[in-house]
Amino acid sequence: MIFDADIHPTILSSDLLSRLPSPWRRRFELFSTRAVAPPMVYPRVRNGGTRLDSWPPDGLPGSDLDLLREQLLDEYDIGFGVLIPMQGHTFGAEEPEYAAALCRALNDAIAELFLDKEPRLRSCVCVPHEAPRQAVAEIERLAADERYVQILLPTGTSSPPGDSKYLPIYEAAAAAGLPVAFHLGGVEGHRGDGWPSFYLEQHAWYGNSTAMVATNLICAGLFERVPGLQVVLVEGGISWAAPLMWSLDEAWTLLREDVPALRRAPSACFREHFWFTTQPIEEPADPAQLVAALEHTGMTDRIVFSSDYPHWDFDSPSIALRDLPKDWRTAIMSHNGHRLYGGESR
């Protein structure tokens, strides 16, 4: 059974409105939500950044379950697909009560329009991440529903993600036995080097913001405070991870008094607490170089296939990763996802 760890659904405004209570329904009608940050503002390569054939006659890419079934689940025999509702990245950054209402409406719409109708799909709990008290309430509301397999956060949180402000979210996730997934996006800064000038720069180096998340969580000592927490780095590449671990370990050897909360080598934290999804995995001209880079991470058992449907840079499950050793590919397409998210019973 193929696991796909990154499928992007879209909930149409009309389906959100009907699930928003007063006064938030009226506010959404009049003002909508705050605009997305530059990742969506850059001129996209083609077709709004999505596959041209993923636009349904009515609606937006990712809004039509039948088309998603036809083009992804049925086409490639995907048995377990995780929805990553990117609308949560912006909804979750609104002021607390509005953010909570939006995320609740989003999670409920996903359940009713996708999960109730399609047993192969799972989703994330989208949370008002800048309002941790409300975020914890949303996690607790949905934790018993096994169709929600992780908590979703954007890489662009208002404060660095290791900030103590967010600790209750991580504690609630661990208490619920759910990983936290970070996906590129959000309304705040593009950490690392700030916003690049062009979409090409950003697309080629999604790993930059993703690496900042991993570094910050480790150095904040998060995994000493919440030892049961697992973190999934979605859509951020992988090959950068080993050199980063080398540098972090060396710095920690020399400078560990700077981060007393971090009691173990950063690489040990990395290898015990993080997972990756594949798309957009780095594709060097010589595939052996990718194999070497992945081997250096020591984490090939913690990489899960992702297609990124319906985005334009979609990876076909039947074509992608063919150059990897067969046992790695089998694990990445299936076994690793099974270990991370559980299998058919969920």
List residues near another protein by CB under 8 A.
Answer: 45-47, 51-53, 312-316, 318-320
Q: Which is nearer to another protein, 205 or 312 (CB)?
A: 312
Tokens 């800048």: give the residue.
Answer: 130
Q: In the complex, what is the shortest distance from the CB of residue 52 to another protein, in angstroms, rounded to a whole number?
A: 3
Q: Which is nearer to another protein, 52 or 292 (CB)?
A: 52
Q: Which is nearer to another protein, 188 or 313 (CB)?
A: 313
Q: Which is nearer to another protein, 77 or 250 (CB)?
A: 77
Q: Which is nearer to another protein, 45 or 261 (CB)?
A: 45
Handedness of CA 20, 21, 26, 30 (dihedral sign): negative
Q: In the complex, what is the shortest distance from the CB of residue 98 to another protein, in angstroms, rounded to a whole number?
A: 36
Q: Which is nearer to another protein, 73 or 226 (CB)?
A: 73
Tokens 């001209």: give the residue.
Answer: 285
Handedness of CA 51, 84, 229, 112 (dihedral sign): negative
Q: From the centroid of its chain, how far is CA 299?
A: 18
Beta-strand ranges (E) seen in the chain are: 2-7, 78-83, 121-126, 148-154, 180-183, 231-234, 274-277, 303-304
Long-range contacts of 71-77 (CB under 8 A, 24+ apart): 71/309, 71/310, 72/4, 72/7, 72/307, 72/309, 73/118, 73/120, 73/121, 76/2, 76/4, 76/307, 76/316, 76/317, 76/318, 77/2
Q: In the complex, what is the shortest distance from the CB of residue 307 to another protein, in angstroms, rounded to a whole number?
A: 11
Tokens at 185, concatenated: 């996006």
Tokens at 79, concatenated: 């048995």
Q: In the complex, what is the shortest distance from the CB of residue 66 to another protein, in angstroms, rounded to a whole number?
A: 17
Q: Which is nearer to another protein, 50 or 215 (CB)?
A: 50
Residue of 137, 133, 128 lying closest to 89 (CA atoms): 128
Q: In the complex, what is the shortest distance from the CB of residue 330 to another protein, in angstroms, rounded to a whole number?
A: 20
Q: In the complex, what is the shortest distance from the CB of residue 314 to another protein, in angstroms, rounded to a whole number?
A: 6
Alpha-carbon gap, residue 138 to 78, rounded angstroms: 29
Q: In the complex, what is the shortest distance from the CB of residue 311 to another protein, in angstroms, rounded to a whole number?
A: 10
